[in-house]
Chain A
Amino acid sequence: MAVVKMLAVTLVGPKDEMEYVASQMVLMGGFQPLSLDLLLEDRNLRSRVRTVTENPYDELLMKLAHVWQTAGEVIPEAVPLPVPQDFTLEKARFEVSRVSGRLELWAKRRIALEEELEALEAADLCVQALESRGMSLEELASVEHLTVFFGKLSEENYKRLEESSQDVPLLVIKLGTWGQETWVLAFTIRSYADEAEKLLNSVYFKRFSLSDVLRLISSSNKPSESLEKRIENLKRAIDGLASAAKAYLDKNREELERLFSLVYTMQRIYDLCRGRGEVGDMYVLSGWIPEDLLDHVRKMVEEKAPKSAILVEESKSLPYQGVRVPTFLRNLPLVRAFQDVVAMYSLPAYGEIDPSFFVAVSFCLFFGFMFGDVGHGLILLLAAQLMQKRRMIRRSLAIVLKSAAATSVFFGFLYGSLFGVEGILPALWLSPMENMGNLLAISVGIGVVMVTLGMVLNIISAFRRRDFGGMLFDGRGLAGLVFYLTCAAAIYASFSGKDLPIPRWILWALIALMLAVMLLRDVLARYLLKERLAPGKGVLNAFEVFHNLLSFLSNTISFLRLAAFALNHVGLSLAVLMLSHMVHALPGGLFFGVLVLVAGNAVIIALEGLIVFIQTLRLEYYEFFGKFYKGGGSAFRPVQWRKDLKALRSRSNA
């Protein structure tokens, strides 16, 4: 359980080895590219390195995806394929253009047919609209003193045209709206024709010539019938072209899917290479890898790309100190789900302690303690399983919920509580209502343990940062810890009436000494450890000590909520039982009694479960994390296999 150590690796070699090296990095799945700008401090060297960001396979992939789009199918799942050495960019281009060339030809033909269809449909619509208004197309086409416009525009633009044409010699007649398009006839005087055309152009009016319409219907006695017949034929031809694409895809599916996967693999490889540097015939590829992958990468480079060299740098030796090293957490499978609980607060910064394990243990403990009930826990467990199965919640959240529910069942046995009823099951440990005092004492004890753990982790963090002053003399360091534990021991002794193995005056002396150490933190760090500190922080430190003293008390007392919510759970369950008994005496009492029981328990599980969940998070984030955790890390994002497929697929669906 830890934040995995990361290494900045730079691969340098001849360009002909780049594709292989990059493909191995993609298939390995643990390489996050790093901009060369961040690595090359030397501006002279930087100016000589050309950064290449284009991906030549983007375009090829789009063209190939078009094959499935034309056939009206969803783009297939790409599978990672070992790319043959002879599958060069030129070959890929040739293969893709061979496939897409034929489809492009069909697409062009289809566009031409669609344009023809549009003209025929416009003619049909014009004829029908004029007939219904008792107007003659021949007369309209031959008017001398007017200019007639026939065409379509969007509904929104039609409204604009209606508004703007109020004061000009332009008469606009709406013929009807079909689909999202409005068809109109517009009349204007000859002298205003040019202005009218500009006006119509400004609303993107698509004009159809009336003489063209006349020509289309001139050869037939029954123009409407003839037009409809031709429209049908054209539609059939367009459908035929679409089904040809489908037939072509069906016939060559296997080959096309393989080509798609190959091009997709190459596209991912070049995505990794995006931002690579080139100097003459050499490539430079930099990025982060987890430390344990280094041997694998070295071996691969030595065996398969012998002319390439691998340079490894640790984060401390990078030229720019501001570079943020990505955080990669590695934990046991169950603990991994709790990484999301930590990430919800903030991801650990690189080098910081990963609290996921402590969170996993304490989260389950707190939840079970507050919501201990065999029946409620089991229902919560089933609900979490169901929601995970139906993909209503993420897997990690489902695991967190199930773990919390399992400890709820465990504590239910300890409390002897089944759906809030005590007595059915024997209490293996204690009954919350009967042992209230013990429960409160235990919850404060848990608080002391958690606050202590938080401070111990802070001491470790300070040691790692080489902040020895903070580690020894700070309120959250060793001095604070001794102070806190001494106070806790003194309070325990006075409440329990027990004697401690050391005299009381030593306790008080230790408390006073530690308080003095905390107040003089900066002075001690400067004189004893020779640390250089920023001046003028004396007053601030006094306030910090005061704040720490208060937080010792408030953080510990805050854990009383563990007992409070355990009691609350019993209380609520009792209230539901009492309500159920009260309605029992009414007509239909049995039914209403059961109804109140079911509804009441549902409310307890949903509402109280949610509140306990929030309280658990609060204890983790505020009382525990507040002692040692900063966060602010950025996640390690290696080049992923299926990054762009989603975008392609959404385009296809659209």
Chain B
Amino acid sequence: MSFSPLSAGECTTVGAKARVLYGRLLSDMDYWEILQCDTVPEIADYLQRAEGYREDLSTLIAANAHRAELEDRLRAVPVRRAKAFMSYLSGPRRDFLRAWVERFQAEQLKRVLRWLLSGHGNREEMRARLQEMPLITLSFDALLSSRTFGEALESLKGTAYYAPLKEPLKGLSEGRMNLFPAEMAIDALIIASLYRTTLRLPLLERHYVLELVGGLVDLLNIYWLYRALRFYSMGKEEALNRLLPVRHKARFSLLRSLSHAKDLDEFWSLLKETPYATAFGDFPPQDELVLERSLKRFFYRSALRAFRSGSPSFHTMVAYLMLLEFEVMDLVTIVEDVRYGYDRRMGALFLARPIIPEGVVSWQ
């Protein structure tokens, strides 16, 4: 356990800042207002007036806002907020936040690899969007100039991504593999690094953060085994090999049992005995969207619980960032619902924020 007045100061500062920023998250009423918008520019206009997004969308011209453009701007918001906390932190707390935002950079990397494989999408638009994203450390200019996966790999030399992507990208170049192993390798690297930096946090700050990040690790592992069982014709051992290299409460014995389940009923009966039984909602799920919604809401509630726990500290910041991420995720879903004219009330059912039927009690 390490405690010093400086670290206590750091934690209190970021905790207090997180509480202030939490007050700028959208209310349930805002959600309904946005759901009632008819066009993407209307949503952009609404968000430009919302306190939490005003600054981030200040240079967006609402009248001309395009779906993809608005979504990209929104996706950059959690990274911008995380950056605002960065200067207050040092040591393992700063390392954690770095690992936290690295997930966003990893998403951009996956996007570039998808673009390289499919050839669809505008390179310069991607380049312009990347310029909006803070805390970028990879040389995306070089990556976007790549013509082959070999060149892309060369651009990653000297970064943490090089070693895990070496074989998957080589396989991709030679046509032996698809993009899936490369994406899995990136996820494994990022989530494992996040979990390891969580374990390095001082004991006093670790508890709630570990619950959140550990839960993420376990649920990703379980969800992967569920998908392998339901959708992929993959050997049990191969499915196990593709798990994240870290585990929290769901130990290897449980994961092995899950991978050996003959059908979904057996999978469910095994899962019922774990702390994650509620995360998957009704099981076996009839609809994948409902399952994903259940997972998102499980994380959302965990984050909200962590945010409300104890006095403002480091975990308050992590929980706030997670809540913000879910809010942005919901906004992206709503933007797509509006753009493609889906039923808004149905759309509201699949959001991470449970605004139907009664919503959560507003709390600050």
Q: Which A residues fall within an 8 A CB radius of B?
A: 35, 37-38, 43, 46, 52-54, 58-59, 62, 154, 156-157, 159-161, 163-168, 180, 195, 198-199, 202-204, 206, 275, 320, 322, 324, 644, 647, 650-651, 653-654
Contact-residue size bin, chain B (C-beta under 8 Å from the other chain): 20 to 34
CB–CB B245/A160 < 8 A: yes
CB–CB B237/A647 < 8 A: no
A-B contact pairs, 20 of them (CB 8 A): A37-B61, A37-B64, A38-B61, A43-B64, A53-B124, A54-B124, A58-B141, A58-B142, A160-B243, A163-B252, A163-B256, A167-B236, A202-B238, A203-B241, A206-B167, A320-B61, A322-B61, A644-B141, A650-B158, A653-B158
CB-nearest residue of chain B to A181:
B163
CB-nearest residue of chain A to B158:
A654
CB–CB A160/B141 < 8 A: no
In the docked arrangement, what's the CA distance between A391 and B163, Å? 35
When distances are taken between beta carbons in the complex, the residues of chain A under 8 Å from B58 are 322, 324
Instruction: List the 5 shortest-distance A-B pairs measured between CB atoms, nearest first.
Output: A654-B158, A204-B167, A53-B124, A164-B240, A202-B241
B150-191 near A? 1/0 per residue, CB < 8 Å: 000001011100011001100000000000010000000000
CB-nearest residue of chain B to A653:
B158
In the docked arrangement, what's the CA distance between A324 and B56, Å? 13
Using A180-B163, A647-B141, A651-B142 as known contacts, list a sample of 5 further A-B pairs with CB atoms less than 8 Å apart, ordered by residue number in A.
Answer: A38-B61, A58-B145, A161-B241, A165-B237, A320-B61
CB–CB A651/B235 < 8 A: no
On whether A199 and B167 interact (CB within 8 A), knowing A54-B124, A59-B145, the answer reads: no
When distances are taken between beta carbons in the complex, the residues of chain A under 8 Å from B125 are 53
CB-nearest residue of chain A to B128:
A53
CB-nearest residue of chain B to A180:
B163
When distances are taken between beta carbons in the complex, the residues of chain B under 8 Å from A164 are 237-238, 240-241
Residue in contact with B163 in the complex, picked from A43, A58, A154, A160, CB distance below 8 Å: A154
CB–CB B127/A199 < 8 A: no
On whether A168 and B159 interact (CB within 8 A), knowing A37-B64, A160-B245, the answer reads: no
In the docked arrangement, what's the CA distance between A202 and B239, Å? 9
In the docked arrangement, what's the CA distance between A326 and B182, Å? 42
In the docked arrangement, what's the CA distance between A528 and B125, Å? 54
In the docked arrangement, what's the CA distance between A165 and B252, Å? 13
CB–CB A202/B142 < 8 A: no
B242 contacts chain A at the CB level, 8 A cutoff: yes
When distances are taken between beta carbons in the complex, the residues of chain B under 8 Å from A320 are 61
Residue in contact with A54 in the complex, picked from B59, B123, B240, CB distance below 8 Å: B123
CB–CB A163/B240 < 8 A: yes
CB-nearest residue of chain B to A51:
B124
CB–CB A654/B167 < 8 A: no
B106-143 near A? 1/0 per residue, CB < 8 Å: 00000000000000000111011000000000010110
CB–CB A204/B158 < 8 A: no
Least Cβ–Cβ distance between B251 and chain A, in angstroms: 11
When distances are taken between beta carbons in the complex, the residues of chain A under 8 Å from B245 are 156, 159-160
CB–CB B123/A199 < 8 A: no
When distances are taken between beta carbons in the complex, the residues of chain B under 8 Å from A156 are 245
Least Cβ–Cβ distance between B225 and chain A, in angstroms: 12
CB-nearest residue of chain B to A644:
B141
Interface majority SS on B: helix, strand, loop or mixed? Answer: helix
When distances are taken between beta carbons in the complex, the residues of chain A under 8 Å from B181 are 202, 204
Query: Quick one: which of A38, A167, A195, A653 has the most chain B CB within 10 A?
Result: A167
When distances are taken between beta carbons in the complex, the residues of chain B under 8 Å from A53 are 124-125, 127-128
CB–CB B142/A198 < 8 A: no
When distances are taken between beta carbons in the complex, the residues of chain B under 8 Å from A206 are 167
Least Cβ–Cβ distance between A103 and chain B, in angstroms: 13
Residue in contact with B237 in the complex, picked from A38, A62, A199, A651, CB distance below 8 Å: A199
CB–CB B142/A62 < 8 A: yes
On whether A199 and B128 interact (CB within 8 A), knowing A644-B141, A654-B157, the answer reads: no
In the docked arrangement, what's the CA distance between A54 and B123, Å? 8
In the docked arrangement, what's the CA distance between A320 and B236, Å? 59
Query: Quick one: which of A38, A163, A202, A320 has the most chain B CB within 10 A?
Result: A202
Least Cβ–Cβ distance between B236 and chain A, in angstroms: 8
CB–CB B145/A160 < 8 A: no
When distances are taken between beta carbons in the complex, the residues of chain A under 8 Å from B236 are 167
CB-nearest residue of chain A to B48:
A322
Residue in contact with A198 in the complex, picked from B128, B164, B238, B260, CB distance below 8 Å: B238
CB–CB A651/B157 < 8 A: yes
When distances are taken between beta carbons in the complex, the residues of chain A under 8 Å from B242 are 202
Least Cβ–Cβ distance between A66 and chain B, in angstroms: 9
In the docked arrangement, what's the CA distance between A647 and B138, Å? 9
When distances are taken between beta carbons in the complex, the residues of chain B under 8 Å from A324 are 58-59
CB–CB B240/A160 < 8 A: yes
When distances are taken between beta carbons in the complex, the residues of chain A under 8 Å from B64 are 37, 43, 46
In the docked arrangement, what's the CA distance between A603 and B126, Å? 53
CB-nearest residue of chain B to A59:
B145
B240-255 near A? 1/0 per residue, CB < 8 Å: 1111010000001000
Residue in contact with B158 in the complex, picked from A37, A38, A43, A651, CB distance below 8 Å: A651
CB–CB A195/B145 < 8 A: no
When distances are taken between beta carbons in the complex, the residues of chain A under 8 Å from B252 are 163
CB-nearest residue of chain B to A275:
B128
CB–CB B124/A168 < 8 A: no
Query: Quick one: which of B64, B124, B241 has the most chain A CB within 10 A?
Result: B241
Least Cβ–Cβ distance between A314 and chain B, in angstroms: 19
Residue in contact with A199 in the complex, picked from B159, B168, B241, CB distance below 8 Å: B241
Least Cβ–Cβ distance between B122 and chain A, in angstroms: 9
When distances are taken between beta carbons in the complex, the residues of chain A under 8 Å from B159 are 654
When distances are taken between beta carbons in the complex, the residues of chain A under 8 Å from B124 are 52-54
Least Cβ–Cβ distance between B174 and chain A, in angstroms: 12
CB–CB A167/B237 < 8 A: yes
In the docked arrangement, what's the CA distance between A202 and B240, Å? 10
In the docked arrangement, what's the CA distance between A277 and B261, Å? 59
In the docked arrangement, what's the CA distance between A206 and B59, Å? 50
CB–CB A647/B139 < 8 A: yes
CB-nearest residue of chain B to A53:
B124
Query: Quick one: which of A53, A58, A204, A206 has the most chain B CB within 10 A?
Result: A204
When distances are taken between beta carbons in the complex, the residues of chain B under 8 Å from A647 are 139, 141
Least Cβ–Cβ distance between A43 and chain B, in angstroms: 7
